[in-house]
Amino acid sequence: MPSVPTALEEILGMAQARRDRAAARAADGERRGAAASGSVLPSADQLLHGHPPLGGDIRTDIQEFVGSVPDGSVDREAAASLRALSDAARRAAPGGGVDGVAVLAALRACRIAPPSDPDGTLRLRCVIYAALLGDAEAALAVAGEAALLAYVQDWHLEGDGTELVWQAAAWAAFGSSRLGPLRRLPWPISEMGLTRDRIDAFADEFRLKVSRHLPELE
Q: Is residue 55 part of a domain?
A: yes
Given a cut of 70, whether residue 1 has pLDDT beyond it is no
Q: Are 56 and 96 in contact (CB under 8 A)?
A: yes
Q: How many helices (H) and strands (E) does the chain have?
A: 9, 0
Q: Are 185 and 198 in contact (CB under 8 A)?
A: yes
What is the reported pTM? Answer: 0.86
What tens digit of pLDDT does each residue of 29-75 get? 999 999 999 999 999 999 999 999 999 999 999 999 999 999 999 99
Q: Is residue 1 part of a domain?
A: no
Q: Is residue 58 part of a domain?
A: yes
Q: Is residue 2 part of a domain?
A: no
Q: Is residue 174 part of a domain?
A: yes
Q: Which domain holds residue 136?
A: 7-217
- For the chain, how many structural domains are there in total? 1
